[in-house]
Structure 1
Amino acid sequence: MMSLGVALIGTGFMGKCHALAWRAVGPAFGVAHPRLEILCDATQAQADACAAQFGFARAMVDWQAAICDPAVDVVSITTPNGLHRPMADAALRAGKHVWLEKPMALTLADAQAMADLVAAHPGQVTLLGYNYLRAPAFQAACAMVQAGEIGTPLAFRGAYDEDYCADPALPWSWRMTQEGGGLGALGDLGCHLVSVMVALMGAVSEVTAMTQIAVPQRPAPDGPRPVENEDSALALVRFASGAQGSFATSRVARGRKCRLQWEVQGSAGTLVFDQENMNELWVHRAGDAGFTRHLTGPDQPDFAAFCPAPGHNFGFNEQKVIEARDLIRAIDGGPPCGPDFAQGLGIERIIHAMARSNGHPIRLEEMTHDQTS
């Protein structure tokens, strides 16, 4: 199995997650240890410090040079949203594989262009950072749905709420602009919920949504600045199967830290999950008096790679290690991994349809690349 040369661009929350994943994937899954070649950040001092901390051989500020370096095979992109498309495009044109954090792009037109570019480079693997899809409890739930254990899925209810913007005194930042952040809660949080929803329920055919800016202005050194993207969104969903769903996301939900909560109601049972209790899957089957709690353990997908004992808990960062494993295997000729850029475009269509709806039904087939929210 090949040893891949890695360039990591960005050293924030998700940059560190990627670095930890690249370092852990070999010991966890027995794949060839990646070569941590280049770490790139906005200042040389930050790049030097994080390269030493994360174990990268070199540090630089020139991301174009990092991407084009001949020792690099795959590029991890964990930068602010506005840099996702230019960096991913450059990496693809340089012949590299790409691991890109969500959201895929600022606009639907950008996402379409990125998907088109991948189609023109069929030998290169892309992966978007929808890490919650790798949780063992979630994978077990998907297997139960696919096996018909809860019958025909009839309805989905989901919410992804956090409170990182709940304080009105929080300073204005690029995240609150369309030019720098794109969508707000839908781009930061809601896209994760969409990835889960589609994996469990299948394709979406129609959405009707409303968005809200709860804090219209934020303090800045030169005076208050306007918030341009949504703090929260609510939607009703119709799936291609005929099933229905409800969807909610907020970045101003007081007390919520990572409430990625979803429920699938089927004709013969119900599944319930909450990321704040990510090691529990609650299952009800027809004839049961109530719900049964199932704890994560080595009988669920990929748990045993980290711990042989049930109930000892799986963590956020381990999801990224599984993503890295899936990416390496796909590059090495194994099963395709996803969501890739083509599948990511489908997620972008859904969240941009929600942003565009304003209370009116939007059919997903109407969301073309020249329509942005």
Structure 2
Amino acid sequence: MSDRTSLNIGLIGTGFMGQAHALGYATAEKVFDLPYGLTLRTVADVTEEAAAKAAKRFGFDSWTTDWRDLLNDPEIDVIDITAPNALHKEMALAAIAAGKHVFCEKPLAPLSADAREMAKAAKAAGVVTQVGFNYLCNPMMGLAKQMIEAGELGEIRSYRGIHAEDYMADASAPHSFRTDPAGGGVLADLGSHALATAEYLLGPITRVMGDCVTAIDSRPDRNGTPAPVLVDDVSRAFLRFENGATGSIEANWIATGRKMQHDFEVHGSKGALILSQERLNELHFYSTDDAPGRRGFRKIEAGPEHDPYGLFCVAPGHQIGFNDLKAIEIAGYIGAIAGQQPEPFGFDAGTRIQHLVETILVSSADGGWKAV
């Protein structure tokens, strides 16, 4: 691939995340000085209508209803998987066997054993991988990590994280890939983000104690007949970190009124940080260095000083958005394919998150602490 000036992308799936990825490639090529040009070669979906519409809308050269066509095209360099969770393993392993680089949305696989198999296969084949955790690409998230590592918060003592939305709050909403046990449940779907953020900021989690709850115990199947729900709707876990801090996370997809609450609080001996994805361009900082009577959380607004915000907008406080985070993630991945940097969040990292998810689920079933 060293003689290529452009990478050809094959995208599987045209739903919410498929659209985000397609827009991310288009934006990344325009915003960043990438080592390769990016060509949207072929998009695949299960229906002709969805595939053809996506190809026309996002500028793919062609479309197909069979994702295997992407593997058989020698011109395609990257297979990007945004299909339902239960299909990730089959698609990724087939792409790896075909010698393609693979970008897969989270969760990497419903079982950590499957994720490990995928990571092992990718390493053996020498392909570059990425798992979709674009919230970690927020410049304000990076600033928080820098401040923590620089000791601006002092000794880190406690952590709280939550990822809550309400897209499954309606009990009449039918079964989907999300409620299929082969697809995961809320801890895999949203909790994976909360866990990835916790470890990104504070380092390894060493012990967990989970409480995973199915609040809506049945949903209509494709025939409208009530069928049992066998996955979690709300999951919480207490955490112990290697650095001595303690904390908790919550994953909740029935949080009525919440559309995108991916928040964290970090509390240290000298200060604290708060960030909410609902206001992703703001990081709030409390410092005990402030004089008594003058203390309080102060807002740090995203601006050109917080790389790579300045590549998107030269003016502070004008904000970047969700799709921009996906473009940042893609730019890092393309840099890894070119050998300019390690994989930003490859299959090994995705396996780690799935192992945490699985350990919390086991802990909830057993009712006690588990070592990670």
**What is the TM-score normalised by the length of structure 1?**
0.94
The equivalent of 1:369 in structure 2 is none
Query: What's 1:178 paired with?
Result: 181
Q: What residue in structure 2 maps to residue 41 of structure 1?
A: 45
Rounded Cα–Cα distance in structure 2 between residues aligned with 1:323 and 1:211: 30
Q: Which residue of 2 aligns with 1:199?
A: 200
Matches of 1:166 and 1:213, distance apart in 2: 12
Show CA shifts across 1:312-345 (max 9, x none): 0110000010111001111111111321111111
Preserved contact between residue 110 and residue 354 of structure 2 (Cα < 8 Å): no
How far 1:222 moved relative to its partner? Answer: 4.3
Matched residues in 1 for 2:29 and 2:289: separation?
44
Aligned to 1:238: 240
Percent identity over the alignment? Answer: 40
**Any idea what the Cα deviations from partners look like across 1:45-96, whole Å, max 9, x if unmatched?**
3211211111000111121121231110011100000110111111111111
Check conservation: 2:85, 2:177, Cα contact below 8 A.
Answer: no
Decide whether aligned partners of structure 1 residues 2 and 151 sit closer, same or farther in structure 2, where only a CA change above 3 A counts: farther
Residue 189 of structure 2: aligned partner: 188
Cα deviation 1:215-269 (Å, max 9, x = unaligned): 0001232410111100011111011122111111111111111111101111211
The partner residue of 2:276 within 265, 274, 277 is 274
* Contact preservation (8 Å) 1:237, 1:244: yes
Summarize the alignment of residues 23-102 of structure 1 with structure 2, pairs less than 5 Å apart: 23-31=26-34, 32-102=36-106
3-state DSSP of counterpart to 2:272: strand
User: Residues 1-373 of structure 1 correspond to what in structure 2 (within 5 A)?
Assistant: 2-31=5-34, 32-121=36-125, 123-179=126-182, 181=183, 183-220=184-221, 221-288=223-290, 289-358=295-364, 359-364=367-372
**Which amino acid in structure 1 is aligned with residue 299 of structure 2?**
R
Question: Over aligned residue pairs, what C-alpha RMSD do you find?
Answer: 1.2
Aligned letter for 2:78?
Answer: V
Aligned mates of 1:41, 1:237 — CA distance in 2 = 39
1:130-154 CA-to-partner distances (Å, cap 9, x unmatched) read 0100011111111111211112222
CA contact (8 A) 1:140 1:301 kept: no
Contact 2:86 2:177 in 1 (8 A): no
Distance (Å, rounded) in 2 between the aligned partners of 1:233 and 1:8: 31
SS of corresponding position for 2:11:
strand
Contact 1:25 1:33 in 2 (8 A): no
In structure 1, what residue type is equivalent to 2:136?
Answer: L
Check conservation: 1:68, 1:91, Cα contact below 8 A.
no
Name the CA distance, whole Å, in 1 between partners of 2:338 and 2:224.
51
Structure 1 stretches of 5 or more lacking a match? 365-373
Describe the superposition over 1:157-200 as per-residue Cα deviations: whole angstroms up to 9, x where unpaired.
11111111111111222311212x1x211111000011110000
Contact conserved, 1:178 with 1:228, CA < 8 A, in 2?
yes
The one-letter amino acid paired with 1:153 is I
In 2, are the aligned partners of 1:207 and 1:363 still within 8 Å (CA)?
yes
- Measure, in 2, the Cα distance between the counterparts of 1:28 and 1:119: 30
**Kept in 2: contact 1:23–1:33 (CA 8 A):** no
Provide TM-score, normalisation by structure 2.
0.95
CA distance in 1, matches of 2:50, 2:256: 33
Q: Work out whether residues 336 and 344 of structure 2, in 8 Å CA contact, stay in contact via their aligned partners in 1.
A: no
Unpaired runs of 5+ in structure 2?
A: none
Give SS of 1:82's match: helix
